[in-house]
Amino acid sequence: MFPPLEIRGGRGSYQTIMQTYKIAVLAGDGIGPEVMTEAVKVLKNVEKLESIRFEFEEALVGGAAYEAHKKPLPESTLKLAQDADSVLLGAVGGPKWEPLDYSVRPERALLGLRSELGLFANLRPALVFPALVDASTLKREVIEGIDLMVVRELTGGIYFGKPRGVTTNADGSQVGVNTLTYATYEIERIARVAFELARKRRKKVTSIDKANVLETTELWRQVVTRIHEAHYRDIELSHMYVDNCAMQLIRNPKQFDVLLTDNLFGDILSDAAAMLTGSIGMLASASLNETAKGMYEPVHGSAPDIAGQGKANPIATILSAAMMLDYSFGERKSAMRIYKAVEEVLKKGIRTGDIFTAGNQLVSTSQMGDAVVKELNV
């Protein structure tokens, strides 16, 4: 599930001595604190089983940070993230903060962390656990065996391009502007990540663009093709328009191995891929920079409608912690131990509400965390 990356620089890969990692714990808003508690619980149990130690330091982010500091990403939180070996994030945002000016909404904290930490590569695996095949809204034969990875460029594109904003004309009418822009080097480095991942999977990359109408993505296609021809001829490369990809994800998702996307297209397609698996509460993600420092977070949002009720599924956050162990720390054995524990829990029919079906055992957020910990110790 988590193939190692060439850009990884984790210190634990080649050492047998006790290794300590400092983790910035940013629980955030809504269900963030609940699912984060369970992920930290699992990591603390891993400490007892492996020759590694973790130093956890918490800080406010998103709406919680705005309430305390009037900004979603306080300087103290950013400094902690910069000083830590890795960042574990819960979720940010909610309707409560939607009336705020765009510049101080909780989601700006995510963009700030990505930019300041140089987290250009977002990895979102979409894998269907055999025990959850029937939890998907699609037919078994369509989704059984899905194992794909969305590689999304995270620090460029329309989310960061300038000029941007809303202006008012003399007649009172308004104009909104966002700029889609990519430099060659931004496309090159994310393409390399996708090709390196594909070498350790099924050796197939599908690059997503809209080159028939957007010149920026025409450049994207040209650069990806050039990198492929120069360095990765052992990988099968194909190109697909984003609208067709959205359709194919529903029609025949098993055709995909690694999906390479820009920022906007990846934001949309990764959520679509997530729902193939039965619940967005199951999907982890990693955002990496060129030194393998990362920010790890569940794909789901803050879900304020169920916050504080013990209904949230913590598995996505637990699997995000596993990705952190693998990609940033090089502790692959520990990462796979967590993954296998989750798999065993699901085989036993233990379910939170989002993946519950008749005949299974319905559990709370904390009970799901306890079940994973129990399997770790088997």
Residues with a known catalytic role? 159, 210, 243, 267, 271
Nearest to 137 by CA among 244, 245, 250, 242: 250
- Show Cβ contacts of residue 200 under 8 Å, excluding neighbours closer than 6 positions: 3, 4
Structure tokens that stand for 79 in this block = 């400094």
- Show Cβ contacts of residue 171 under 8 Å, excluding neighbours closer than 6 positions: none
Q: Is the Cβ–Cβ distance between 294 and 288 less than 8 Å?
A: yes
DSSP 136-163: SSS-HHHHTT-EEEEEEE-SSGGGT-SS
- Antiparallel, parallel or unpaired: β 147-153 and 86-91: unpaired
CA dist 248 and 283 (Å) reads 20
Three-state DSSP class for residue 44: helix
Omega of the bond leading into 253 within 30 degrees of 0 (cis)? no
> What CA–CA distances, in Å, run from 159 to 75, 86, 232, 287?
22, 24, 29, 16
The interaxial angle of helices 332-347 and 32-49, nearest 10 deg, is 120
For 102, list phi and psi in degrees, rounded to 5: -50, -35
Three-state DSSP class for residue 54: strand
- Show Cβ contacts of residue 165 under 8 Å, excluding neighbours closer than 6 positions: 176, 177
- Judged by phi (left if over 0) then psi (alpha if -120 to 50, else beta), residue 118 lies in left
Taking residue 179's Cβ as centre, other Cβ atoms within 10 Å add up to 12
